[in-house]
Amino acid sequence: MARCKTLIAKYREIYVDHIPVRLGDPAIPIRGHDVVHRALDYGTGAADGVVHFLNVGQPWFAANIVRTYLELVLRIMWCRTRTNGWQELIGWWAEETIKAADRFVADLGKDPLTKSARQLLTDQKNHAPRTKPSLDKMLREIAGGQSSNAARAHIEGTYAELFKGSLHQAAHANLVFLAFQWSNRDQLAIGRALVRACCWLINSSHSYIGWDESQAIRFMNSHFEEDRGQGKSGSNKEDRGQSTFSSET
């Protein structure tokens, strides 16, 4: 799993070299590149956290971390299938932020947002999609755009295999489930989820740096060839070679 951290950290270096991180106001993401930059930072930290908690024998915390990372990447994949996907995704997040602030006002009598921040979020919220699909529906929509039956089945199976399984149960601290299910198989699910999130994030963004699908696959393969040669479970062709998108913003 440490290879995932190397993979995503190296890809971040390449991405930032092509597309520098935007500095200055506003501090929130306002374009697709902002989201990708922050997702790469999140992914590097997530990989580091997963490796740490597995090494200290606390896989439930590793599962919790990787689930949020996989969910972030899934939302990015979904937005890339949309005409104005980046703005919709940022608007969705802005809307959720406003809802959280409104609850703060209602219960505690104080707005955690400045007037300018609230206005900025309100402007972004106007781009939020009217219909906000569940993770399961997002996966089905993404799967519908794949060119092969194997890729479609692979993506569609992610919800049952990873989200609803051990990762979901760990995130909700289901102590009954954890008592029965923490086996090598569940730690394997953590590894597969981490690999999948890293590879899907690269697949969702490589066109921005001028890579075609074959370049992205070669880059990902180069980080997992030794594992495959030793028969270890990790990245597979369905994780690496699917869900690529155009370079449109």
DSSP 126-173: TTS-SS---HHHHHHHHHHT-SSHHHHHHHHTHIIIIIIIIIHHHHTT
Domain count, the chain: 1
Specify the pLDDT at position 174.
87
Q: What confidence tier does 1 reach under pLDDT thresholds 50, 70, 90?
A: confident
Sorted by sequence, the CB contacts under 8 Å of residue 239 that are 6+ apart come out as 154, 192, 195, 196, 199, 200
> Can you give the pTM of this predicted structure?
0.87
Residue 165: band (very low, low, confident or very high) from pLDDT cuts 50, 70, 90: confident
Q: Is the pLDDT of residue 236 over 60?
A: no
10 Å CB burial of residue 210 (0-12, 13-18, 19+) is exposed
- Work out the pLDDT band at 29, boundaries 50, 70, 90: very high
User: Is 46 part of a structural domain of the chain?
Assistant: yes
The pLDDT tens digits of the residues spanning 101-148 come to: 999 999 999 999 999 999 999 999 999 988 888 888 888 888 887 777
In this structure, what DSSP letter does residue 208 have?
G
Confidence band (pLDDT; 50, 70, 90) for 38? very high
Rounded-to-10 torsion of CA 5, 10, 13, 16: -80
- What is the C-alpha separation between 194 and 231, in angstroms, rounded? 18
Question: What pLDDT does 7 receive?
Answer: 95
Instruction: Please check whether residue 24 lies inside any domain of the structure.
Output: yes
Q: Give domain status of residue 170, yes or no.
A: yes
Quick check: is 140 in a domain? yes
Residue ranges making up the domain that contains 133: 2-82+129-240
pLDDT at 180 > cutoff 80: no
- Is 91 among the domain residues? no
Residue labelled with tokens 């869900």: 243
93 falls within a domain: no
Of the pLDDT bands very low, low, confident and very high (cuts 50, 70, 90), residue 243 is very low
- Contact of 113 with 19, CB cutoff 8 Å: no
Q: Is the dihedral of CA 149, 150, 152, 156 positive or negative?
A: positive
- Mean pLDDT over the full length of the chain: 86
Residues ≥6 apart with Cβ < 8 Å to 249: 31, 32, 33, 86
Structure confidence at residue 246 (pLDDT): 39
68/164: higher pLDDT: 68
The string of pLDDT tens digits covering residues 91-114 is 999 999 999 999 999 999 999 999
Tell me if 29 is assigned to some domain. Answer: yes
Return all residues near 26 (Cβ < 8 A) that are at least 6 apart: 120
Model confidence at 232: pLDDT above 70: no
Query: Residue 228: what pLDDT?
Result: 52
Q: Would residue 218 count as lying in a domain?
A: yes
Distance, in Å, from the CA atom of 200 to the CA atom of 63, rounded to the nearest integer, reads: 18
